[in-house]
Amino acid sequence: MDAGLLSPVSAGADAVVADAAVAAALVRAEVALAQALGSLRVAPASAVAAVERAAAGLDLDPADLAAAAVRDGNPVGAVVARLRDAVADPQAAAWVHRGATSQDILDTALAIVARSAIAVVVEDLDRVVAGLAALAARHRGTPAAARTLTQHAVPTTVGARFADWLVQVADARDELAGRALPAQLGGAAGTLAALVEELGAEPVSRLPVEFARAAGLDPAELPWHTRRTAVTRLGDALTRTTDALGRIAADVATLARTEIGELAEGAGGGSTAMPQKRNPVHSVLIRSAALRAPLLAAELHLAAANAVDERPDGAWHAEWPTLRELLRLALGAAAHAALLVEGLAVDTTAVARNLAATHGLIVSERLMRALRPRLGVRELQGIVDRAAGGEDLAALLAAEPALAGLDVAALLDPAGYLGLAVRFVDQALARAAAPPSERNP
Residue-wise pLDDT tens digits, 132-160: 999 999 999 999 999 999 999 999 999 99
Look at 7 and 145; give whichever has higher pLDDT.
145
Angstrom distance (rounded) from CA 364 to CA 354: 16
Do residues 304 and 229 touch, judged by C-beta distance below 8 A? yes
Name the active-site residue from 311, 324, 328, 431. 311
The residues facing 155 across adjacent strands are 145
Angstrom distance (rounded) from CA 30 to CA 97: 6
Residue type, 195: L
Angle (CA) 64 70 74, round 5°? 85
Angstrom distance (rounded) from CA 220 to CA 290: 30
Query: What does the mean pLDDT of the chain come to?
Result: 94
List % helix, strand, coil for the chain (3-state, nearest 5). Answer: 65, 5, 30
Identify the band that residue 277 occupies on the pLDDT scale cut at 50, 70 and 90.
Answer: low
The CATH superfamily label for domain 15-350 reads Fumarase/aspartase (Central domain) (1.20.200.10)
> Exposure string (b/e) for 93-131, b if CB count within 10 Å is 16 or more?
bebbbbbbbbbbbbbbbbbbbbbbbbebbbebbbbbbbb
Could you tell me the pTM of the whole model? 0.93
The residues facing 147 across adjacent strands are 152
Angstrom distance (rounded) from CA 268 to CA 273: 15
pLDDT reported for residue 11: 92
Q: What is the mean pLDDT of residues 198-226?
A: 96
pLDDT reported for residue 436: 80
- The structural domains of the chain, with segments of one domain joined by +, span 15-350, 358-406
Do residues 417 and 364 touch, judged by C-beta distance below 8 A? no
Q: Spell out the SS3 assignment of 370-426.
A: HHHHHHCHHHHHHHHHHHHCCCCHHHHHHCCHHHCCCCHHHHHCHHHCCCCHHHHHH
Is residue 271 among the annotated active site residues? yes
Give me the phi and psi of 10, to 5 degrees please: -105, -5
pLDDT reported for residue 375: 87
Burial class (CB in 10 A: 0-12, 13-18, 19+), 258: exposed
Q: What is the mean pLDDT of residues 406-431?
A: 95
**CA 384 → CA 149, 305, 360, 389, 409, distances in Å?**
20, 56, 10, 9, 16
Do residues 296 and 234 touch, judged by C-beta distance below 8 A? no
Closest CA to 333 of 10, 5, 7: 10
Q: Does residue 278 register a pLDDT over 80?
A: no
Look at 375 and 238; give whichever has higher pLDDT.
238
Identify the band that residue 276 occupies on the pLDDT scale cut at 50, 70 and 90.
Answer: low
Give 253's contacts (C-beta < 8 A, 6+ positions apart): 280, 283, 284, 287
Percentage of residues in the chain having pLDDT higher than 90 = 83
The residues facing 360 across adjacent strands are none
Closest CA to 292 of 18, 4, 9: 9
The residues facing 144 across adjacent strands are 156
Residue type, 420: L
Question: What is the helix (H) or strand (E) element at residue 64, kind and residue range?
Answer: helix 62-72
Angstrom distance (rounded) from CA 262 to CA 2: 37
Name the active-site residue from 271, 372, 386, 423. 271
**Three-state secondary structure call for residue 279:** strand
**CA 417 → CA 141, 145, 203, 414, distances in Å?**
11, 11, 68, 5
Is residue 311 among the annotated active site residues? yes
Angstrom distance (rounded) from CA 236 to CA 238: 5
Angstrom distance (rounded) from CA 297 to CA 178: 19
CB atoms within 10 A of CB 86: 20
